[in-house]
Structure 1
Amino acid sequence: MNHDKEYHMQEQLAIIETVNAIFDLVDAKDWAAVRALIADEVDVDVTSLGGGEPARITGDQLVAGWETGLHARKRSWHLVGHHRLRVADDAATAAVLLKGYAWNRLDEELGSGMWEVWGTYHLSFERAETGWKMNRFQLDVSATNGDDAVRTHIA
């Protein structure tokens, strides 16, 4: 295997590991670690889920929104796969398309409601000194199930 191909494969693996870490850390509610994997500015589009408009927000705003929506009394579980990557020739940017499933469940004291979503994530990343950072988050919802009040519940 030549050096360029090996380097490209290492970059792809690093991006996949970053993608998986973001979702795992969100479920673990390790917000500081999540923030370390997010760029300072992020293009966000979740209009297929809750309406509104796509927006460019700060990484701090994105993580604060996740922290509010996935508060300590709401459990979440994300599963992502079928990673399709496109790394720029200069290996400075990357785009990832993947399928995902997630559920949210409220604690028993809050009624134990559950909500699920299936969809396609479109993520983009930029190279930083500390590794790959996500700078685009888009979810295209295919289906949902359960109590939508669970999705929108905040503490």
Structure 2
Amino acid sequence: MSEAHEVIAQWQVAQAITRMVNAIDSKRWSDARVQFADTVFVDYSSLNGQPGADISSSDLVHGWQELLERVLTHHMVSNFEVEVQGDKAESECHVYACHELPGLEGWDCYGRYQHLLERVNGQWLIIQMTLIVHGQKGNLEFLQQVSSQVH
């Protein structure tokens, strides 16, 4: 791969991840869904202690929608490092995510995201997503409190 093609692929990978978090923040759930392969391995164990698992991207995004529809979120991703090998790519970036809901103390979570992507029909799709939490601020029970309001 030429250097120019590699730089373009690296940018495309970073854009797929950025489009995913932007879609969540603006509640464009179908736009978030199309950034993923049909099945994705998701590991948020550093946040919630539950082991990572394969999940359908439709179920993943539907779960986010159910939990976050009323929550104001702001995900900032930066400092991308992307390695491309043919039709596979690894990405690591910083993430800072703010969560607010009127009536609840807000919650911020920050750390690193690690993603694996695969190019399918010219589009980079997320096939694996791992969150490595470095820290949290505010209401550490925020997600549980929101979840109890939803159910």
State the superposition RMSD in angstroms.
Answer: 1.3
SS of 1:39's equivalent? Answer: strand
For the pair 1:6 / 2:4, whether they are aligned, the reply is yes
The counterpart of 1:97, out of the listed 72, 79, 92, is 92
CA contact (8 A) 1:104 1:151 kept: no
SS of the aligned residue for 1:113 comes to strand
Q: Counterpart of 2:77?
A: 80
The Cα shift of 1:70 comes to: 1.1
**Distance apart, 1:57 and its partner CA:** 0.9
Equivalents in 1 of 2:77, 2:47: separation in Å? 17
* Structure 2 segments unaligned to the other structure (5+ residues): none
Percent identity, aligned pairs only?
26
**Whole-angstrom CA distance in 2 between matches of 1:32 and 1:149:** 28
Q: Does 1:18 align with 2:16?
A: yes
Unpaired segments of 5 or more residues in structure 1? Answer: none
* Distance in 1 (alpha carbons) for counterparts of 2:122 and 2:141: 38
Count residues in correspondence: 147
**1:83-142 deviation per Cα after TM superposition (whole angstroms, max 9, x unaligned):** 010111x2x010100111001000x3xx04200001111111111125111011110111
Deviation of 1:17 after TM superposition, in Å, equals 1.2
Structure-to-structure mapping, 1:29-108, within 5 angstroms: 29-71=27-69, 73-88=70-85, 90=86, 92-106=87-101, 108=102
Deviations 1:20-53 (Å, cap 9, x if unpaired)?
1111111011000111111111111001111111
Moved over 3 A (4+): none
Counterpart in 2 of 1:137? Answer: 129
Matched, 1:116 2:108: yes
- What code does the residue aligned with 2:38 have? D
TM-score by length of 1: 0.90
